[in-house]
Chains A and B, each alone.
Chain A
Amino acid sequence: MALTIDQPIEHKQQSLAARLFASQTFWVVIAVILACVFLSFATDAFATSKNLYNITRNITFVAIIALGMTFVIITGGIDLSVGSVLCLSSMVLAVTMHAGYSIEVGILASIATALAIGAFNGVLIAYLGFPPFVVTLGMLSIARSLAMVASNNTVVFQFGPDHAKLLSLGGGAWVFGIANPVLYMILLALITGFILRWTKFGRHIFAIGGNEHAATLTGVPVRQIKVAVYMISALSAGIAGIIQTGWLGAVTTNLGTGMELQVIAATVIGGANLAGGVGTAFGAIVGAALIEVIRNSLGLLGINAFWQGVFIGGAILLAVLFDRIRNFRRSD
């Protein structure tokens, strides 16, 4: 036999270039780069270090949650509660620190709250068979309400003895003048990418999104993994909440309102499929970047801010259109 065993083992379906061109994420990256190049020439304000600092930092809050959301969306689920969980986590942090506790205690309480909410969502979805949409829609309402209860619907802007530490954590720029939130985002993206590509857990998440029944039959612990992904999603919202609190220096009960839609938009623009089984960490970041660049550019170009929604919505539809065209060609 002329064929050796190594040939089929090494055989890849597509070359690197072909895979690149077929990837939605790649085209979104191109779109972001083109937009940045265009804006650098079209406006004086875009390519200034101050504006770039702002853009990169603004990307992070949506991007960090989009990383967590990517896990959920790959399993074929959805988490609508992230905006409210962000608010509740911020509020728990603020109230705890305001009461005189240290920043460590505050962060611990905040993360614990987020994880508890994620676990609650996950158990209802995985063990009791509730639809993810309904569970997290309910939690969207519950978590924001709890934030109001915790703060008595006031603005908290004094964070006790560790006030300065918290502000530096979220608002500082410790390394090379890069805003701290950006560093956290990069770190979390690397962790997410690693988990998805190199761990058994990551592999099982894709398997659940691809064919949940098959995953169950082959012995994948589907229920435990589902609980874990909703906990990760809530955790990412909690982390974003802590960072955002440090950056803003104040927490109100309408923090993160409507953020779940931006997060889902970023994830989908970046190439994740709401039907499950597809998604990357890099895509989540790129999707968040495109949304922020659109927002920023409209301001700089002097276009009325009311048009923002049209452009962001257009970007979502365009990104998914690419996906449809690809599938259409394949099915021919």
Chain B
Amino acid sequence: MAVLELTNISRHFGAIQAVNDVSLSIEPGQVVGLMGDNGAGKSTLVKMIAGNFRPSHGTMHMDGKELILHKPAEARQHGIEIVHQDLALCNNLTAAANVYLGRELRRGVGPFRILDYASMYKRAGQLFAELKSETRPRDLVKQMSGGQRQAVAIARTMLSQAKIVLMDEPTAAISVRQVAEVLNLIRHLRDQGIAVVLISHRMPDVFTVADRVIVMRRGRKVADKTIASSSPEEVTGLITGAIEQV
């Protein structure tokens, strides 16, 4: 069964139709590349899944149940996690503190509860080990490489039982070697049965790691096919509009 199913989703802002009648479904453990030019509606679509916007029309279902989100915190409760393009990290805090930001572990009783540093370091260390990342929980994020920072942001999504992780341009601003690192992180998520939606402009990344590619143009879904049955040339044509629809 699909972990997430969108049916005839539309969203308009005044007269502007940002997303127009899009339907798609995402299976567990599947990596879906979401591609399209600027203004194609990718971000708006993702923001609806993340609970930032509500769809004007259409319905979303998660594991067969209807999904109605009023704010991002509710999406998180349903197991939808987002890795923001700027990663949303605090440079002045440690890796573990960033992983647990907003959901710190505490120990003690009633109002006398203090931060549980030991447990947070331990669990963060385990998550980094699962991701096969060299990131260390006590290191300050300030001094980390782009790949390590990605690992911190991704580890955050693994704290709770995430079912689907939305990644917004995770490889946009990092070095070539670090891109490989991030793609590996994505594979580790997939291997744990988590569905990943990868929003990217970078054709090679999508074709390396994704199982399926969805292309959007002017608010409409113009293609949704397996990577094996497509090619970078075809996707480029779909993005630019040289190929109308497949």
**Residues of A bordering B, CB below 8 Å:** 5-6, 8-13, 197-200, 203-204, 206-207, 209-211, 213-215, 217-220, 277-278
Given contacts A203-B97, A214-B101, 17 further A-B pairs with CB under 8 A are A6-B125, A8-B125, A8-B129, A9-B138, A10-B138, A12-B138, A199-B114, A207-B101, A210-B92, A211-B89, A211-B90, A213-B86, A215-B101, A217-B84, A219-B72, A219-B102, A219-B103
Known: A203-B115, A219-B72. Contact between A277 and B90, CB under 8 A?
Answer: yes
B114-125 vs A, Cβ < 8 Å mask (1 yes, 0 no): 110000011011
Partner of A9, one of B89, B92, B102, B122: B122
A203: chain B residues within 8 A (beta carbon):
93, 97, 101, 104, 115
B residues apposed to A, CB below 8 Å: 72-73, 76, 84, 86-93, 97, 101-104, 106, 113-115, 121-122, 124-126, 128-129, 134-140, 143, 156
Contacting A214 at CB < 8 Å: which of B88, B104, B129, B138? B88
Q: Cβ of B138: which chain A residues have Cβ within 8 Å of it?
A: 9-13
Q: Tell me the complex Cα distance, A211–B92, Å.
A: 8
Contacts of A8 in B (CB 8 A): 125, 128-129, 134-137
Q: Which 6 pairs across A and B sit closest by C-beta, in order of nearness?
A: A210-B90, A9-B125, A277-B92, A214-B88, A219-B102, A210-B92
B134 contacts across to A, CB distance below 8 A: 8
A277 contacts across to B, CB distance below 8 A: 90-92
* Closest B residue to A219 using CB positions: B102
A-B contacts, 5 of them at CB < 8 A, read A9-B122, A13-B143, A199-B115, A215-B90, A277-B91
Chain A interface main SS type: helix
Q: Whose C-beta in chain B lies nearest to the C-beta of A277?
A: B92
- B165 to A: closest C-beta gap in Å: 15
- Given the known interface contacts A210-B91, A219-B76, the answer about A5 and B97 at a Cβ–Cβ threshold of 8 Å is no
Q: Which residues of A contact B124 (CB under 8 A)?
A: 9
Query: Is the Cβ of A218 less than 8 Å from the Cβ of B101?
Result: yes
Which residue of chain A has its CB nearest to the CB of B84?
A: A217
A218 to B152, CA, bound (A): 13
A209 and B92 within 8 A (CB): yes
Considering residues A11, A198, A214, A215, which has the most beta carbons from chain B within 10 angstroms of its beta carbon? Answer: A214
Given contacts A5-B126, A11-B136, A199-B115, contact A213 B88 (CB under 8 A): yes
**Least Cβ distance of A275 to chain B in Å?**
10
**Interchain nearest-CB distance for B103 vs A (Å):** 7
Query: Which of A203, A220, A278 is the most central at the interface, judged by chain B CB atoms within 10 Å of its CB?
Result: A203
Partner of A207, one of B72, B90, B103: B90
Given A13-B143, A220-B101, decide whether A207 and B136 contact each other with a Cβ distance below 8 A: no
With A5-B126, A199-B115, A218-B102 as given contacts, are A13 and B88 in contact (CB-CB < 8 Å)? no
Shortest Cβ distance from A325 into chain B, in angstroms?
17
Residue of A nearest to B96 (CB): A9
The chain B residue with its CB closest to the CB of A198 is: B114
Q: Chain A contacts of B88 at CB under 8 A? A: 211, 213-214, 217-218
Q: A207–B129 contact, CB under 8 A?
A: no
Tell me how far the C-beta of B102 lies from the nearest C-beta in chain A, rounded to whole angstroms. Answer: 4
